[in-house]
Structure 1
Amino acid sequence: MKKILIIEDEENLLQFIRLELEYEGYEVIIAYDGREGLAIALNENVDLILLDLMLPGLNGIEVCRRIRSSMDNTPIIMITARDSVLDKISGLDSGADDYISKPFQIEELLARMRAIFRRSEIPLINKNLSFKDLELNLESRIVKRGSEPVELTKKEFDLLFMLMKNVNRVLTREFILEEIWGYDTTIETNIVDVYISYLRSKVDGKEKESYIQTVRGTGYVLRD
């Protein structure tokens, strides 16, 4: 039985989600504020966290950052009433795996949870990937270009991993969006362009050859 932590201060919504998840066979732990939720996340072995953005005590962005800074890779779905692209980027860039806006249908939330569980259960076949002088270790989540380490956020790492395991294959924005940000996501495809820009600035720098190529009107590719 998978264990889900819900960190949400809106009582009615929290209890609604809890009842639906328990009906689906999940074990549920609840927290009403950021500090309590963070303590549970760091001390309990949970399989997924549903995290509200606006919380008393400690907001969802900070909770997510502290979880990730502790090297905890538990999947996190951010839940919030705020729906701007900037808010989505902030939530995802802090380490969240997906983002769902209120109000939402419980079926959509369940589908996103299932998608995350499917991705996390894929066996690690190739733990070490390389492209020219770029190296990626999936197990340690370390990236290097030459001898220099490249510090990436979780989403940037996942995006680079997808590109490196599909060398010479053009990946559409829609494909990247669904694979990285989840099933039936409402996030706009331009967030892919934003993250590609972030990734290029870190991987390529100013004086190195740019590896990530844009295929106009389609998407992106790493080509030998």
Structure 2
Amino acid sequence: MEKPLIVIIEDEEDLLELLEYRLSKEGFDAEGFLSVKNVEKFLEEEEADLLIVDRNLPGVEGSEFVKKLRLKGVDIPVIFLSAKSKDEEIEEGFLRGGDDYITKPFNVNELILRIKALLKRANPQKYSEVIQYRDLKLFPKSRKVFVEEREVDLTKLEFDLLFEFIKNRNIVLNREYLLEKVWGKDEVFQDKTVNVAIKRLKEKIDPQKTKNYIESVRGVGYKLC
């Protein structure tokens, strides 16, 4: 499973570097920006999980930038990290699209705990300790899988494939989607890559062929049943 991607917009370079370092130590991917310039383009190209946004930024005030994102339909969770600490300023931050608000000076450990809590609320399937579907149990952090309490040994690719199906249960996923999400959009694969991988996954989680976890939808793709 990919690490959560946290985007930080902070014009104090020393603080930005500290946050990037601490977040990477906590198992996150962190991408820092000293202003909002190029952030929108980055968000169009990368699937960010959370934004940490200062409000006193050069050019565009942080909460105005978030408001602009919200009007465009961007729903990535946002934590404001700001020296603006008056009650009306904090309220303004929430009204403009913030999900949480931390005033400076702040405790980095508290920030990390708030990040983890917000990620779990925003996407419980992705960040919970255990994900269950029928008699399947997935543990994202340890990448372990159990079928009827029996551990099944899956490759990284097989785990990611099963995880993608469970996140999108009852939705038909076509081969192009799976190739991009599981294999990586920059790679080139043969037409039968997805078919072969799903066949191997099914053999491992349903060796008796009695449970029909994943079914083929003719001419479209596959879905979890």
CA distance, structure 2, for counterparts of residue 108 and residue 37 of structure 1: 25
Judge which range, 87-96 or 28-37, deviates more.
28-37
Tell me whether 1:104 sits opposite 2:106 in the alignment. yes
Query: Which residue does 2:77 correspond to in 1?
Result: 75
Query: Which residue does 2:36 correspond to in 1?
Result: 34
* 8 Å contact kept, 1:9–1:32: yes
CA distance, structure 1, for counterparts of residue 10 and residue 40 of structure 2: 12
Q: Which has the larger radius of gyration?
A: 2
Per-residue deviation, 1:43:
3.8
Per-residue deviation, 1:42:
4.1
Number of residue pairs aligned between Structure 1 and Structure 2: 123
Summarize the alignment of residues 18-57 of structure 1 with structure 2, pairs less than 5 Å apart: 18-57=20-59
CA distance, structure 2, for counterparts of residue 94 and residue 36 of structure 1: 20
C-alpha spacing 1:39/1:62, structure 2 compared with 1 (3 Å): farther
Q: Where has structure 1 moved over 4 Å in runs of 4 or more? A: none
What is the aligned-residue identity percentage? 32
* 8 Å contact kept, 1:41–1:67: no
CA distance, structure 2, for counterparts of residue 17 and residue 110 of structure 1: 10
Q: TM-score, normalised by structure 1?
A: 0.53
Q: TM-score, normalised by structure 2?
A: 0.52
* 8 Å contact kept, 1:78–1:96: yes
Query: Which residue does 1:11 correspond to in 2?
Result: 13
CA distance, structure 2, for counterparts of residue 10 and residue 39 of structure 1: 22
Summarize the alignment of residues 129-140 of structure 1 with structure 2, pairs less than 5 Å apart: none
Tell me whether 1:117 sits opposite 2:116 in the alignment. no
CA distance, structure 2, for counterparts of residue 86 and residue 34 of structure 1: 23
CA distance, structure 1, for counterparts of residue 71 and residue 46 of structure 2: 16
CA distance, structure 2, for counterparts of residue 21 and residue 62 of structure 1: 25
CA distance, structure 2, for counterparts of residue 42 and residue 91 of structure 1: 23
Judge which range, 38-47 or 108-117, deviates more.
38-47
Structure with higher RCO (Cα < 8 A, 6+ apart): 1
C-alpha spacing 1:15/1:31, structure 2 compared with 1 (3 Å): same
